[in-house]
Structure 1
């Protein structure tokens, strides 16, 4: 046995003591302090230090101060304690997400996994070489997700770009996205019926503005608030979308330059000129102002999502007599379109082209873990703390606790296996009167959002490089033209605005893109139904 001198022995003991102290300092509480009651460290879940990966996510400003930040909170800790990897989350502001991600990519600082709802954006990244094909890696390293894809073959066409799989996704909880809501108590007070046509919608908005429905004696009502800017109106009323292609007489046409788009602009201009929408709605990119108008009782019609539980809760706190109910899409001279409904895939998660195979392997293992074990806690919270199982569904135990501690975390679940049905909501909601009342309206909202078929002429848009480059340049120019039409008084008519849009489209190479889009459609139309 080798002799150890006193000085060496003292040094060894000091090192051991330091390690013990560091270990103690590293503990933030008991096992019960974090979701799941686990106090495991990243190293304890495996044979050594875990592989680190980074993942983007949307910063929606929803994390309460006492919960921490999007990078560091109870759920990021829980994920790192329980998953096979250590995740570093990279928040990007929702309204500027693509611009921020593009900047990170250009600087060589993009996260390993990049996700977006917009398939076109993932296509752009694939065409730029910023992300890499992953089909072979899924086949090689995945078990759970590979089996999930076999169960959901409808996802496969959406995950392929240039003939190869570039992303993972999952089937949405529901295809509903947009929703329209109206103050039933205001309708009742003014003796009005819910509108069913564009003309009736305008008439109700006028009466909301002029009739002092909140009874405060002031002309301060802004009838319509919108969280999705003009998109909900475009798509639900005039069969147009700024990011969608349509088949007109067998020809591919981009939604922002079809004839109907002039009617969309005219409608928005009328609402703006008559003061029926907030005059700052175009610059309300984070939708905070529209939310404030609704929840403080200044707006009576809301264009946004089909599920607005938090907004409804805040409104009822401010006015216990307020009653928001879902509104079916109204008809225009073109007929009645469904409120915007999504294609089957939810978010698209792509892999940075700079990732090495061991990082890809670890990321796929994380996806398998999230799909099998991880998504329920970050979506619903901890059992018997945030929810209890009732009749096979997860019922919230305390809405305020859930809103504070869980609601911000659902997007950590980059894959999940969950389907929502209207009849589930009353069982899922807490038993207090406000929660149960909204749960019933939420079920109705989902039914109404899916009642009328949404016009989607092709399953997904073309994704060739020339189109991606054109859209990236055209979109900000189009936004400026449209803002001038809507807010500029008599400076530009809707018809002139459409002509300007078409000129810019052509100037930027639109004729060639139209030709390529038509060729793409003819080659792929059997797969686009």
Structure 2
């Protein structure tokens, strides 16, 4: 496991300002001048002399800010950031499920924030090729201290930040818990009740799902279970069974091919359609854009398989509240005729933070100094909260949650603001970090198991990054909604469309939009950048 340069930072030995303590109880506004240290703690970060310059930053709206906490734009943590950082930040939330669409709209209208971030390097490359963001190499060299040093110590991140030979984004390394992403969960108590074993193949998964549908596993005497619940990762989980991703390029006999044009993609559509036609998943999943219906199916005990993410603590806690005897365990990816593939795993680079091309140098300087502060001091508080209020340190380094519900409500959403971070945890810390109540401890052990399961099988990625050519980005941006519509029709349309006809139509559209020429350009790009893509 990658070890951080420092396991813990000085900021975590100090409590947050008294103003934030007041916000914890009353959620009232605070002022910069009210920053004083609580008794028995080190001084809070000093407020810079003079007015702070303003910057705006995008953030994902995942719908997790409790009403009493405020909003993504205004809460205890946005106040704390503005009080302790060298900038006054306005946060611009974009819905997670439509993030790129919303950001592109803001860019097109000229109202995009100063800093735009995404996990998807392809999207950042698209913005670079459009001229919406600007190179920042010289500015990092001129204005940064902490980040500049960090990037020098992490050369493995250079390729993620570099587009067309220039640095277009800032990033930091993922902790091991950030490398893991997609995962599946299953109700072990349902398996035990029905005398079933955990499925290991795509065929067995369907058979288990049928039993979950027909054999009344929740014991209420009604045929009301929905075997499989889908969140936003689910369709890509099915793709992974067939070693294909709709938005990745693959090397097929040394030739660059786009995922959606491969036969394996057709097989993933056919599998999704089989689940839909047999009523093994919620038929409203396509319109469940914020995945709240899927979450409700799982947490109320109406689903037995959850295609989601490796860390589902909130869902676990809510399930245990509703169904105390439920036993939620991680499920390994199942094998298809193409073999066993890991579910989606991230590359080493984390969030990619880009600078709006309209930013002037004074704002760029402020933004870089803000990122330096975040990397050096701000990130840990945004991940774990306030010492002796939300956590206490064990062994001088491990943050142990004091109250799971309090931390969940007051801190869990704040990690969205830590857009760069220098911290790597150790999986064995999970039981120590968790609150000491029985449910939290039960989940901490399962969380360790889930992380191990999520990383056990390597996810297929033939090249590290997709081609960052404008012709490629433009074609895919046009092709994606067309192909998605064709796929949805095939999956939900009954006999009106088959996977075979859908595949034929997808390939026809790819060719019509110039796919053959783009494949040629992608091949040339690959040959030129082979060594860079390992």
TM range (shorter): over 0.9
1:77 alignment partner in structure 2 = 79
- Of 284-293 and 299-308, more deviation after overlay is shown by 284-293
After superposition, residues 108-119 of structure 1 pair within 5 angstroms as 108-119=110-121
2:268 alignment partner in structure 1 = 264
The 2-side partners of 1:252 and 1:228 are apart by 27
The 1-side partners of 2:110 and 2:147 are apart by 29
Asked whether 1:121 is paired with 2:119, we answer: no
1:47 alignment partner in structure 2 = 49
1:302 alignment partner in structure 2 = 306
Equivalent residue for 2:183, pick from 174, 179, 182: 179
1:484 alignment partner in structure 2 = 489
Asked whether 1:515 is paired with 2:520, we answer: yes
Helix, strand or coil at the partner of 1:111: coil
After superposition, residues 12-31 of structure 1 pair within 5 angstroms as none
- 2:239/2:265 contact within 8 Å kept: no
The 2-side partners of 1:421 and 1:202 are apart by 36
Asked whether 1:68 is paired with 2:70, we answer: yes
The 2-side partners of 1:304 and 1:420 are apart by 22
Equivalent residue for 2:290, pick from 286, 290, 293: 286
Helix, strand or coil at the partner of 1:282: coil
The 2-side partners of 1:354 and 1:32 are apart by 37
1:33 alignment partner in structure 2 = 22
The 1-side partners of 2:465 and 2:130 are apart by 20
2:474 alignment partner in structure 1 = 469
Equivalent residue for 1:456, pick from 449, 455, 461: 461
Q: CA 1:528–1:434 in structure 2 vs 1: closer, same or farther (change >3 Å)?
A: same
The 2-side partners of 1:42 and 1:452 are apart by 51
- 1:232/1:304 contact within 8 Å kept: no
Cα deviation 1:87-137 (Å, max 9, x = unaligned): 010111111211211111111111000011111111111000000000110
Displaced runs of 4 or more, over 3 A: 28-32, 38-44, 229-232
Equivalenced residues, count = 501
Instruction: Point out the structure with max Rg over C-alpha.
Output: 1
The 2-side partners of 1:135 and 1:355 are apart by 15
Asked whether 1:207 is paired with 2:211, we answer: yes
Q: CA 1:519–1:234 in structure 2 vs 1: closer, same or farther (change >3 Å)?
A: farther
Normalising by structure 1, report the TM-score: 0.92
Equivalent residue for 1:355, pick from 352, 359, 365: 359
2:341 alignment partner in structure 1 = 337
The 1-side partners of 2:529 and 2:349 are apart by 19
Cα deviation 1:315-360 (Å, max 9, x = unaligned): 1111111110000111111110011111111111100000000100
* Unpaired segments ≥5 residues, structure 2: 1-16, 25-29, 36-45
Asked whether 1:407 is paired with 2:412, we answer: yes
Q: CA 1:31–1:446 in structure 2 vs 1: closer, same or farther (change >3 Å)?
A: closer
The 1-side partners of 2:236 and 2:463 are apart by 19
- 2:233/2:309 contact within 8 Å kept: no
CA root-mean-square deviation: 1.7
Q: CA 1:41–1:519 in structure 2 vs 1: closer, same or farther (change >3 Å)?
A: farther
- 1:231/1:242 contact within 8 Å kept: no
The 1-side partners of 2:217 and 2:186 are apart by 12
Helix, strand or coil at the partner of 1:453: coil
The 1-side partners of 2:90 and 2:234 are apart by 35
Displacement of 1:228 in angstroms is 2.3
1:416 alignment partner in structure 2 = 421
Q: CA 1:210–1:147 in structure 2 vs 1: closer, same or farther (change >3 Å)?
A: same
Displacement of 1:274 in angstroms is 0.3
Equivalent residue for 2:98, pick from 96, 120, 127: 96
The 2-side partners of 1:282 and 1:42 are apart by 48
Asked whether 1:425 is paired with 2:417, we answer: no
Helix, strand or coil at the partner of 2:208: helix
1:366 alignment partner in structure 2 = 370
The 1-side partners of 2:515 and 2:345 are apart by 27
1:3 alignment partner in structure 2 = none
Cα deviation 1:132-191 (Å, max 9, x = unaligned): 000110111111011111121110001011110000011112210001100011011111
Q: CA 1:31–1:345 in structure 2 vs 1: closer, same or farther (change >3 Å)?
A: closer
The 1-side partners of 2:152 and 2:383 are apart by 24
Displacement of 1:285 in angstroms is 1.7
- 1:42/1:50 contact within 8 Å kept: no
The 2-side partners of 1:401 and 1:412 are apart by 19
- 1:42/1:49 contact within 8 Å kept: no
Cα deviation 1:245-283 (Å, max 9, x = unaligned): 110000011111111111101100100000001101122
Helix, strand or coil at the partner of 1:281: coil
1:325 alignment partner in structure 2 = 329
Normalising by structure 2, report the TM-score: 0.92
